Amino acid sequence: MAPHTRAGLAKALTAPALALGITVGMAAAPASAAVWNSCDQWGNTTLGGYTLYNNIWGSGAGSQCVWANSGTNWGVWANHPNTGGIKSYPNSKKVINKTITSLGSLSSSYNVTVPSSGAYNTSYDIWDTDYDYEIMLWVNYNGAVGPLGTSQGTVTLGGHTWSVHKGSNGANEVFSFLRTSDSSSGTVNILPILKWIKDTKGWFGNETIGDVQFGYEITSSSGGLDFVTNNLTVSSS
């Protein structure tokens, strides 16, 4: 299994590189109709309150381009070699900036079209404002990819059943929740997951949640593969 190390680099990049993402809408449209696209390593834009980020951060990466038809419909074409190590995390981000106890709700709906080949995960990446803690929610994954840390068992939270892993990359703690079966669409109630980490496990305190990101952590996509976010919404109160 490929080691999960992107968290450490994201920590090192801090807000400028990390703080980039977006959300996604209904029917997928062809990339040729896109209102924005970029093949730049750190290409980014903001649409409808979400920031979209190409984010090619890993060593040995190939080529990758991101496109967006709107703030709620975007996708990625990636051609990364069949080698180990995460190459990129193209993602959309919404800023929350609320403590866990002050949140009345935090949820997200997603609808994606992902390839049947390659090595990747489709995941939420949730950070506190100091980037001390990273919470990953994998809704589907394929190929030689795996979470950082050790198994903490299985738990049902937020409308899904997850296999939980806990670890550290030396810069921050990483809590990974892997859905026990792949899903291409659904709704995740994120707040109960944060409260479970805080209150039931005591792994952190009343952290201020900064970013909720959603995207594709790609290890390999040889020959060129398409990842499409048909719909993504993140809402909080």
* pLDDT computed for residue 72 by the predictor: 81
* pLDDT computed for residue 33 by the predictor: 67
Q: pLDDT tens-digit profile of 144-166?
A: 999 999 999 999 999 999 999 99
Average pLDDT on 46-71 reads 95
Torsion of CA 178, 179, 182, 188, to 10 degrees: -120
pTM value? Answer: 0.87
CA distance 207 to 198: 9
What are the C-alpha distances in Å from 115 to residues 65, 92, 228, 230? 16, 19, 9, 14
Total residue count of the chain as it appears in this document: 237
Q: pLDDT tens-digit profile of 163-222?
A: 999 999 999 999 999 999 999 999 999 999 999 999 999 999 999 999 999 999 999 999
CA distance 194 to 208: 11
Residue bearing the bigger pLDDT, 147 or 29? 147
Dihedrals φ, ψ of 232, to 5°? -150, 125
CA distance 136 to 34: 29
According to CATH, the topology of domain 6-236 is: Jelly Rolls (2.60.120)
3-state secondary structure of 200: helix
Strand partners, 64: 78
Confidence class of residue 32 from pLDDT cuts 50, 70 and 90?
low
* pLDDT computed for residue 71 by the predictor: 73
3-state secondary structure of 126: strand
> Could you tell me what percent of the chain has a pLDDT over 90?
84
> For residue 44, is pLDDT > 70?
yes
Which DSSP string do the residues of 130-197 spell out, in sequence order? TS-EEEEEEEEEESSB--SSEEEEEEEETTEEEEEEEEE-SSSEEEEEEESS--SEEEEEHHHHHHII
* pLDDT computed for residue 22 by the predictor: 33
Domain range list for the chain: 6-236
